[in-house]
Amino acid sequence: MGSDDLFKKRREDRKKRKYEYKQPKANSFLIVTEGERTEPLYLKGMQKIIRERIGGMVEVVEAPVIDIHGKGSSTGKLIEITDQMVKEAKIIYQNIWVVFDKDDFDDFDQAIKEGTDKGYKIAWSNQSFEYWLYLHFYYSDSALHRDEWVGKLDEIFKKYDLGDGKYRKNYEDIYNIVNTYGGVDAAIKNAKRRMAQYEENSCKPSEYDPGTMVYKLVEDLKKYIDEKL
């Protein structure tokens, strides 16, 4: 066998090994968030509970693979980052979620469409993730600026003596804090109530203020917490 043929065979073998190694993984999640603090910390709080609950019972229930990455980038760029992560991943994720807010980004609707077209699930919020957190305590359909949602959370944290009495974006246990009074179930219920009026084909996400699809991602993960083992 000539050297050229040998080189070609080795290259094909490497490609084959790489392809064979990357297998679909059931109960797997790749979650990429726009924010670097609140969103990933909230979701990692869920991840921690799932690991503690299922980790010692792998013979009964297969523990899900949950990979969470806070990237701190704009909406459109976040889709590109997700593309790259999917390409470089060692497994084929069953569920790919991208989490981002409208804020002041002009490409909000475009990024949602682009991600959806690629088969990604988009947990968007208009205006911000803080609206989703607010729904853990109260229902609201008021169109407020993201800074106003932060202000309302400040009032709630002070009123109920949560955290250190003030809302902050870097609470590592933010999930448990807002779930103190069964807040996660309340947030899902409140979000569904608000989003029941949302008609995807006739209304752009950027025009539906306030709104959030984060509840769908939370429901996806929460089933591992609620599941009877």
Domain boundaries, the chain: 18-226
Give the largest Cα separation in the chain, rounded.
Answer: 79
Per cent of the chain over pLDDT 90 is: 74
Query: What pLDDT, in 10s, does the model give residues 44-79?
Result: 999 999 998 886 565 545 678 999 999 988 888 999
The residue count of the chain comes to 229
- CB neighbours of 79 closer than 8 A, spacing ≥ 6? 98, 111, 114, 115, 118, 120
pLDDT, residue 7, reads 55
pLDDT in tens, 187-227: 999 999 999 999 877 899 999 999 999 999 999 999 999 98
Query: Which structure tokens are listed for 229?
Result: 């083992």
pLDDT of residue 215: 98
Tokens found for residue 5: 């043929």
pTM of the full structure: 0.87
Is residue 71 a contact partner of residue 85, using CB atoms and an 8 Å limit? no
Q: In the predicted model, is pLDDT for residue 19 greater than 50?
A: no
The answer on pLDDT for 1 being more than 80 is no
Q: pLDDT over 70 for what percent of the chain?
A: 86
